[in-house]
Chains A and B, each alone.
Chain A
């Protein structure tokens, strides 16, 4: 376990050094991502400026939701590139190389790249979170802070798990796997607003099927001291980790299929 972690850190070092060979590109793309994410928030700000509030949620509260999901997603987006580009790796036959090494393929894929330019989205999320924290009328305790951190990490695990699922699909079909992108980016958009504004079937989907609400909405309710529909918003971030663990099991099934059909 520790050895795996050490290898992962080594991989990250290699990836960072690789990307630093192209500093101009990094700066440009990070800036672009920063602006792109920022522009989204401008849209939210404009709506709240015009309408005042939505379902009783004000701008700082929405900003909390927004910041949490953007930071969580950018962390997973930065670390999941190996899985994200897996479909092309299968097509080119480079996956065989990973199977030829005495290590778990998941670890090798996770270590493939730490996409530095995601720092653009990360920064926007962080800035919005900080702004929200300073404008919210709540008492920040260490319990709430750890819940915030746990939800962000749980969210990162959830999004990472979605990308693992997308990669696993590539074992069955080499065609475009946009359907998972749909859920991922759709999820990021959905999580920016309180769950209550959506239709019931939508709410159920993002609570039970893709437990996005558990890593974003419910912890936010606890932090904002709003009434929660059930008693355990403090535990819900763990659901994100459990989701990731489940997707990694499905991944193993995918490898078994690959080895028996030869892609």
Chain B
């Protein structure tokens, strides 16, 4: 447990060293958020028809997306990737640890530290100046926190799976790129999922990626009723479990393959 805290605090310290980066990253996200909101405001201005999301809900959605930006499985674990590429990953088998859990925790550390560092100022700024509202109700707020946990599990499971896929391809970029694109669009980072055509909604609701951003954001703003949290959380957990199982299988097979090949 102490080791975990050491990883997280080391990450904090590194992040603080780059003072300009800390400010600029935040500035970037405010900028992007504003652009997206201006665009969507223009769209809503042009129409009087009823939409699956109200404009204030869209605004909440976008700012939550920016705040939770670092949560997404944007990249693979570079250190582990280097280990795999050089072959030293075989030494990991000598450790008295469950390798999958180790890599999963690393993914979790890589997600929580930057997210907290980014989310707090983003919530404050967006809440004060850019139209982010508090949760739709206390039930919504509680449900939101629960689904955030689900989002974290899901994101880590996907990230771990991507890293493990490197055991199978020499240039892991292929699978990672494909998965990244799926994540980005189907989680709602590009535009809120409800704004996609109606005929796409059932597919989007089935896919795992909505669990990373879309579900928590819509519960927060009340677009999805807090009462549905049980179903939504289960959706997140089931997909996370699927990714975890797939990840463990691939890891076991991959390591065995590595050892057999004498790599």
Note whether A and B contact each other (Cβ less than 8 A): yes
Q: Which of A24, A54, A176, A178 contacts B46 (CB 8 A)?
A: A54
A40 contacts B190, C-beta separation under 8 Å: yes
Q: Which of B168-194 contact A (CB under 8 A)?
A: 170-171, 173-174, 176-178, 180-181, 184-185, 190-191
A182 contacts B197, C-beta separation under 8 Å: no
B195 located at the interface, meaning its Cβ lies under 8 Å from any Cβ of chain A in the complex:
yes
Q: Which of A43, A51, A185 contacts B190 (CB 8 A)?
A: A43
B20 contacts A173, C-beta separation under 8 Å: yes
**Shortest Cβ gap from A193 to chain B (Å):** 6
B195-210 vs A, Cβ < 8 Å mask (1 yes, 0 no): 1110000000000000
B63-82 vs A, Cβ < 8 Å mask (1 yes, 0 no): 00000000000000000000
B261 located at the interface, meaning its Cβ lies under 8 Å from any Cβ of chain A in the complex:
no
Could you say which residues of chain B place their CB within 8 Å of the CB of A46?
191, 195-197
A104 located at the interface, meaning its Cβ lies under 8 Å from any Cβ of chain B in the complex:
no
B181 contacts A176, C-beta separation under 8 Å: no
A43 contacts B185, C-beta separation under 8 Å: yes
Name the CB-closest residue of B to A56.
Answer: B46
Could you say which residues of chain B place their CB within 8 Å of the CB of A29?
173, 177
Could you say which residues of chain B place their CB within 8 Å of the CB of A189?
32, 35-36
Stretch from A130-138, A194-202, A221-229 at the B interface: A194-202
B32-53 vs A, Cβ < 8 Å mask (1 yes, 0 no): 1011101111111111000100
**Shortest Cβ gap from A195 to chain B (Å):** 11
Q: How large is the interface on A (under 10, 10 to 19, 20 to 34, 35 or more residues)?
A: 35 or more
B46 contacts A55, C-beta separation under 8 Å: yes
Stretch from B23-31, B155-163, B224-232, B235-243 at the A interface: B23-31
Report how many residues on chain B are interfacial, defined by Cβ distance under 8 Å: 40
A48-62 vs B, Cβ < 8 Å mask (1 yes, 0 no): 011111110000000
A193 contacts B20, C-beta separation under 8 Å: no
B18 located at the interface, meaning its Cβ lies under 8 Å from any Cβ of chain A in the complex:
yes
Q: Which of A88-135 contact B (CB under 8 A)?
A: none
CA distance A178 to B27 in the complex (A): 9
Could you say which residues of chain A place their CB within 8 Å of the CB of B20?
173, 175-179
CA distance A185 to B24 in the complex (A): 13
Q: Which of B27, B42, B191, B197 contacts A54 (CB 8 A)?
A: B42
Could you say which residues of chain A place their CB within 8 Å of the CB of B181?
32, 35-36, 39
**Interface class of chain B by DSSP:** helix
A146 located at the interface, meaning its Cβ lies under 8 Å from any Cβ of chain B in the complex:
no
CA distance A43 to B181 in the complex (A): 12
Q: Which of B24, B39, B170 contacts A178 (CB 8 A)?
A: B24
Given contacts A42-B190, A43-B190, A47-B195, contact A179 B39 (CB under 8 A): no
CA distance A55 to B43 in the complex (A): 8
Name the CB-closest residue of A to B172.
Answer: A28
**Interface class of chain A by DSSP:** helix
**Shortest Cβ gap from A2 to chain B (Å):** 39
CA distance A181 to B27 in the complex (A): 11
Could you say which residues of chain A place their CB within 8 Å of the CB of B95?
none
Given contacts A39-B185, A42-B185, A173-B20, contact A51 B47 (CB under 8 A): yes
Name the CB-closest residue of A to B32.
Answer: A186
Point out which of A31, A50, A54, A181 has the most chain B C-beta atoms below 10 A from its C-beta: A50
CA distance A250 to B128 in the complex (A): 37
A190 located at the interface, meaning its Cβ lies under 8 Å from any Cβ of chain B in the complex:
yes
A85 located at the interface, meaning its Cβ lies under 8 Å from any Cβ of chain B in the complex:
no
B42 contacts A197, C-beta separation under 8 Å: yes
A263 located at the interface, meaning its Cβ lies under 8 Å from any Cβ of chain B in the complex:
no
A52 contacts B47, C-beta separation under 8 Å: yes
CA distance A24 to B46 in the complex (A): 46
A176 contacts B180, C-beta separation under 8 Å: no
B195 contacts A36, C-beta separation under 8 Å: no
CA distance A29 to B173 in the complex (A): 7
Name the CB-closest residue of A to B186.
Answer: A39
B35 contacts A54, C-beta separation under 8 Å: no
CA distance A197 to B36 in the complex (A): 11
A186 contacts B21, C-beta separation under 8 Å: no
CA distance A52 to B31 in the complex (A): 26
Name the CB-closest residue of A to B181.
Answer: A35
CA distance A46 to B52 in the complex (A): 13
Could you say which residues of chain A place their CB within 8 Å of the CB of B42?
54-55, 193, 197
Could you say which residues of chain A place their CB within 8 Å of the CB of B173?
25, 28-29, 32
Could you say which residues of chain A place their CB within 8 Å of the CB of B180?
32, 36
Given contacts A28-B177, A32-B177, contact A199 B197 (CB under 8 A): no
B19 located at the interface, meaning its Cβ lies under 8 Å from any Cβ of chain A in the complex:
yes
* Contact sample, A vs B, 6 pairs, CB 8 Å cutoff: A36-B184, A39-B184, A47-B195, A50-B51, A175-B19, A202-B38
